[in-house]
């Protein structure tokens, strides 16, 4: 999913500490979602096996991504001295950063389905209900507001991310005042969550994990005291437990702990963190292709053989994601920087703690 990337060029570029904790978390989140999908049905050879139960927690990688976004987006806006009149520039930058890779992933997904139906199967199975309208709604992340279906299961999380971007872009100036606006926002989000009129806006379903990320940013920028932070972090974790489950609360706690205290650079996770968005996007289409290749030459009967298949599919997916990152994601990031880079303005802001 980066799915959330550090975004500082909305204001004056500043030297900043690199948050190795985010590399670790992004890498773990993308890998956990990949392992969940591979063993939960995306790869038929691994469905309903011992591996399915072992990686059943992988869906919580999405929650990790949402907490990261809740933290890093306001962090980046704060360092860039973001102003409310820059909302459209902010949204434009996020769109250019995220949309081209996801658009290409949709094209690859549709291409794979067309190849299976018209070259391998010679009948419409995977493209039986494919329409131009479905493509349109997927590309714009508006499927929940229509009768269409997602072409790829991960796209719904990008829709939630953009809902958060809209909210934070509009309310950032208010939220940076401290804990009171955050409490009000949390109360409003939870009221809206149970409204019969906005149930399709999925951000509200996951608002508690995003708000934990925002709370962490307030702590990081010293806009709340330690006592207030820990008190409301506990409240937030209880909400996660009530609204999602106890395992989500444990993962949320672990995510907060790692962002606060983890400082070490672990090369493999720095690499996975860098390509995490590409890995998140590609793992379904690449993993299924890798499985189809593997089973042409090898049996997948024993647990050991299934583990070997899983390792092969993950390895191929990581390699393909790196290529995708270099050829698609990096150029998208550079384009976003060029199109929406502001003139340098020297502004003094309070300096927060550094990890």
Task: Note the pLDDT tens digit of each residue in 76-123.
Answer: 999 989 998 999 999 999 999 999 999 999 999 999 999 988 888 767
Which of 228, 280, 195 lies closest to 4, judged by CA?
Answer: 280
Query: What pLDDT shows up at residue 200?
Result: 62
Residue 6 lies in a domain: no
Give residue 334's pLDDT band: very low, low, confident or very high (50, 70, 90). Answer: very high
Query: What pLDDT shows up at residue 9?
Result: 44
Residue 353 lies in a domain: no
In the predicted structure, residue 197 carries a pLDDT above the cut 90:
no
Residue 15 lies in a domain: no
Residue 263 lies in a domain: yes
Contact 209, 215 (CB under 8 A): no
Give residue 2's pLDDT band: very low, low, confident or very high (50, 70, 90). Answer: very low
The mean per-residue pLDDT over the stretch 195-224 comes to: 85
pLDDT tens-digit readout, 277-319: 999 999 999 999 999 999 999 999 999 999 999 999 999 999 9
CA–CA separation, 64 vs 256, rounded Å?
A: 9
In the predicted structure, residue 13 carries a pLDDT above the cut 70:
no
Q: Which residue has the higher pLDDT, 294 or 200?
A: 294
Residue 295 lies in a domain: yes
Residue 350 lies in a domain: no
Residue 7 lies in a domain: no
Give residue 202's pLDDT band: very low, low, confident or very high (50, 70, 90). Answer: confident
In the predicted structure, residue 6 carries a pLDDT above the cut 50:
no
User: pTM for this structure?
Assistant: 0.88
Query: What pLDDT shows up at residue 340?
Result: 85
Query: What pLDDT shows up at residue 111?
Result: 94
Task: Choose the weakest-confidence range: 200-204, 254-258, 329-333.
Answer: 200-204
Query: What pLDDT shows up at residue 138?
Result: 94
pLDDT tens-digit readout, 248-262: 999 999 999 999 999
The mean per-residue pLDDT over the stretch 324-352 comes to: 75
In the predicted structure, residue 46 carries a pLDDT above the cut 60:
yes
Residues 6+ apart with CB under 8 A from 287: 34, 37, 38, 42, 43, 313, 314, 316, 317
The mean per-residue pLDDT over the stretch 34-53 comes to: 91
Query: What pLDDT shows up at residue 37?
Result: 95
In the predicted structure, residue 346 carries a pLDDT above the cut 50:
no
Query: How many domains is the chain partitioned into structurally?
Result: 1
Using alpha carbons only, how large is the chain's radius of gyration in Å? 21
Which of 82, 84, 80, 75 lies closest to 352, judged by CA?
Answer: 75
Residue 220 lies in a domain: yes
Residues 6+ apart with CB under 8 A from 140: none
Q: Which residue has the higher pLDDT, 245 or 316?
A: 316
Q: How many other C-beta atoms are found inside a 10 Å radius of the C-beta of residue 125?
A: 11
Give residue 16's pLDDT band: very low, low, confident or very high (50, 70, 90). Answer: low
Give residue 205's pLDDT band: very low, low, confident or very high (50, 70, 90). Answer: confident
The mean per-residue pLDDT over the stretch 42-67 comes to: 92
Quote the domain boundaries for residue 185.
20-340
The mean per-residue pLDDT over the stretch 46-74 comes to: 93
Give residue 215's pLDDT band: very low, low, confident or very high (50, 70, 90). Answer: very high
């Amino acid at each position: 999913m980066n799915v959330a990337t550090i975004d500082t060029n909305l204001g004056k570029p500043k030297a900043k500490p690199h948050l190795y904790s985010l590399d670790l978390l992004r890498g773990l989140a993308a890998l956990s979602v990949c392992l969940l999908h591979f063993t939960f049905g995306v790869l038929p050879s691994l469905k309903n096996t011992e591996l399915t139960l072992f990686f059943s927690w992988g869906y919580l990688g999405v929650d990790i991504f949402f907490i990261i976004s809740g933290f890093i987006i306001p962090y980046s806006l704060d360092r860039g001295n973001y102003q409310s009149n820059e909302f459209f520039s902010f949204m434009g930058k996020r769109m250019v950063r995220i949309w081209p890779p996801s658009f290409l992933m949709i094209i690859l997904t549709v291409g794979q389905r067309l190849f299976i139906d018209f070259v391998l199967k010679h009948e419409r199975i995977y493209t039986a209900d494919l329409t131009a309208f479905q493509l349109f709604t997927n590309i714009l992340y508006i499927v929940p507001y229509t009768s269409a279906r997602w072409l790829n299961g991960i796209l719904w999380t990008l829709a939630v991310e953009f809902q958060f971007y809209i909210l934070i872009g509009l309310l950032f100036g208010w939220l940076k005042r401290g804990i009171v606006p955050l409490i009000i926002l949390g109360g409003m989000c939870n009221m809206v969550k149970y409204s019969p009129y906005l149930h399709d806006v999925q951000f509200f379903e996951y608002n508690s994990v995003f708000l934990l990320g925002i709370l962490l940013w307030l702590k990081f920028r010293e806009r709340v005291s330690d006592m207030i932070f820990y008190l409301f972090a506990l409240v937030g974790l209880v909400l996660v437990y009530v609204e999602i489950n106890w395992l989500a609360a444990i993962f949320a706690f672990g995510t907060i702990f790692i962002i606060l205290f983890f400082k070490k650079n672990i090369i493999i996770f720095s690499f996975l963190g860098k390509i995490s968005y590409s890995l998140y996007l590609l793992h379904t289409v690449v993993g299924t292709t890798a499985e189809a290749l593997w089973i042409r030459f090898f049996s997948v009967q024993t647990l050991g053989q299934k583990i070997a298949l899983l390792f092969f599919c993950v390895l191929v997916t990581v390699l393909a994601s790196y290529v995708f990152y270099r050829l698609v994601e990096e150029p998208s990031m550079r384009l976003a920087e060029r199109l929406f880079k502001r003139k340098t303005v020297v502004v003094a802001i309070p300096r927060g703690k550094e990890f």
